[in-house]
Each structure stands twice: as structure tokens, then as C-alpha cells.
């Protein structure tokens, strides 16, 4: 089935009022928390793909920190033969995206209320073509590094789930975040990475924050990270 001509009329889906950040506990792995009676997204060990995508197959692409999901939704339209899964820690954003998915009857996309710091054990090794990690929250202070989902552990997980020819795509408008991410990329040595100009960027869709930066003339970097064998 081709969804090529389909366009989403976002005016049908009024945006929710949202906080910029979620409760700080959500940025730390569940295993670091004591007790279990608090607000925290479910930590999945296994997902039933036939409950998530119409094809019943697992995802081909992952969007980590998908925010309000423009990139996630539009990428699903452009790739109707692929499944794309987004992770987002702000529950209100996930509910809004789910409303659009239901309203538009999109068969190949889903957003999970999930904190990526808990890893991705429910994603099969060597199964993913592309992982997107765009404009993570810009905590610039060193002491805030621990709040970032991007870590050596997550990078190892991304490396594990990617197919041999798979890519990780990064964007950020915060130089300190770029520096931090490169330090983790260097430390793990799992990817070959390079800055990528817009005309070499092989993605056809722009994310919410990418559009914001381009409209406001805010500089940002794009980086392509190729999985090393």
C-alpha cells in the first residue's frame, strides 16, 4: 500500500500544553530508583509487534526522543513499507502523537512512552536500519551529563540493534552537546562519524526542532555515524 500522497492536516489535532522537561526522575534508569510506587514510564522487556504495527513485523527505524513526532510521522508516510518506532519520555507528547496515528490510521508508526536510558532489550540485535537522535535536551553543564540519554551504554545498545550497514543520525544546535556526544563516540569506538552537510543528508523529512532552527537561523550540526563491524 502506498501512502505517498497522504498529508497530515495537523490543525485537526490541537497541540497540548506541555512542560519543556519531564520530572527529573524520568531521565534516570528505573533500576537506580528505590521503590516502585511512582510515576515512571513502563520498562519493557518484550513487545508484541503485532499489537504495534499493522504488518506485525518489528521496527526498521527508531526515533529516540521523538518529541512531538513530526519527523516520526512524516517519515512513516514517506516509507510506507517500513515500520518506525519513537521513544519519548513526555507522556503528553506521546498521547498527542498517538491521537494523530489513530486519526490518520497510520499502520507503520508508533510512539512509546519510554525513557531511553533503560536500554532497548526488546529490540532484536542487528534488526534496525536507522536510528535517529535529534536535538536531545540541551543540558550544557557537565554535572548534567548524567541526565542525558546519550551515554556509552546507550551507544552500545544502538550499535547492537543496528544492521551491519546501519546508521545513527545526530543533530544538535548546542556545541557542548556535540562535543559531549563526540567524546562518547570516540570513547566507545563503535562508529565512524562525520559532519554531514544538508545536501549530503539522506533524510527527506525535517524534525520539529530542525524546522525551528532553520526558521530562526540558529546554527546546528548534522552528523552521520556508520556502524563499525
Ligand X SMILES: C[S@@+](CC[C@H](N)C(=O)[O-])C[C@H]1O[C@@H](n2cnc3c(N)ncnc32)[C@H](O)[C@@H]1O
Site string for ligand X, 181-210 (x = CB under 6 A): --------------------------xxxx
* Least gap, CB of 228 to ligand X (angstroms): 25
Give the shortest CB-8-to-ligand X separation in angstroms: 15
Residues in contact with ligand X, shown as a per-residue x/- string from 155 to 184 under the rule CB under 6 A: ------------------------------
Based on the residue annotation, tell me whether 137 is a catalytic residue of this protein: yes
Strand ranges inside 84-149, DSSP E? 84-88, 109-113, 128-134
Long-range contact set of residues 33-42: C-beta below 8 Å, sequence gap at least 24: 40/115, 41/89, 41/91, 41/112, 41/113, 41/114, 41/115, 42/113, 42/114
As a whole number of angstroms, the distance between CA 153 and CA 184 comes to 10
122, 135, 169, 180: which one binds ligand X (CB under 6 A): 135
Among 53, 122, 134, 139, binds ligand X (CB under 6 A): 134
Phi, psi of 21 (to 5 degrees): -120, 150
Minimal distance in Å, beta carbon 57 to ligand X? 23
Euclidean distance between CA atoms 41 and 94, whole angstroms: 11
Chain length of the chain: 229
Which residue out of 9, 60, 137, 199 is catalytically annotated? 137
Binding residues (CB under 6 A) for ligand X: these are 22, 27, 65-67, 87-90, 93, 115-117, 134-137, 149, 207-210
Amino acid at each position: 500500500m502506498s501512502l505517498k500522497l497522504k498529508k497530515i492536516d495537523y490543525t485537526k489535532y490541537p497541540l497540548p500544553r506541555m512542560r519543556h522537561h519531564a520530572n527529573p526522575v524520568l531521565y534516570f534508569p528505573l533500576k537506580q530508583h528505590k521503590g516502585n510506587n511512582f510515576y515512571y514510564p513502563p520498562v519493557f522487556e518484550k513487545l508484541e509487534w503485532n499489537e504495534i504495527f499493522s504488518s506485525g513485523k518489528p521496527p526498521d527505524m527508531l526515533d529516540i526522543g521523538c518529541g512531538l513526532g513530526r519527523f516520526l510521522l512524516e517519515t512513516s508516510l514517506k516509507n510506507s513499507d517500513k515500520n518506525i518506532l519513537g521513544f519519548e519520555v513526555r507522556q503528553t507528547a506521546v498521547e498527542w502523537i498517538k491521537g494523530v496515528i489513530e486519526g490518520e490510521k497510520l499502520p507503520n508508526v508508533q510512539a512509546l512512552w519510554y525513557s531511553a536510558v533503560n536500554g532497548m532489550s526488546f529490540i532484536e540485535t542487528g534488526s534496525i536500519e536507522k536510528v535517529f537522535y535529534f536535538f536531545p535536551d540541551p543540558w550544557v553543564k557537565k554535572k548534567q551529563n548524567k541526565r542525558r540519554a546519550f551515554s556509552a551504554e546507550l551507544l552500545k545498545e544502538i550499535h547492537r540493534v543496528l544492521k551491519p550497514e546501519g546508521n545513527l543520525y545526530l543533530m544538535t544546535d548546542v556545541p557542548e552537546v556535540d562535543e559531549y556526544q563526540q567524546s562518547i563516540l570516540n570513547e566507545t569506538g563503535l562508529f565512524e562519524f562525520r559532519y554531514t552537510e544538508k545536501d549530503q543528508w539522506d533524510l527527506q523529512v525535517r524534525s520539529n526542532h530542525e524546522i525551528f532552527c532553520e526558521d530562526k537561523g540558529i546554527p546546528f550540526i548534522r552528523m552521520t555515524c556508520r556502524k563499525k563491524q
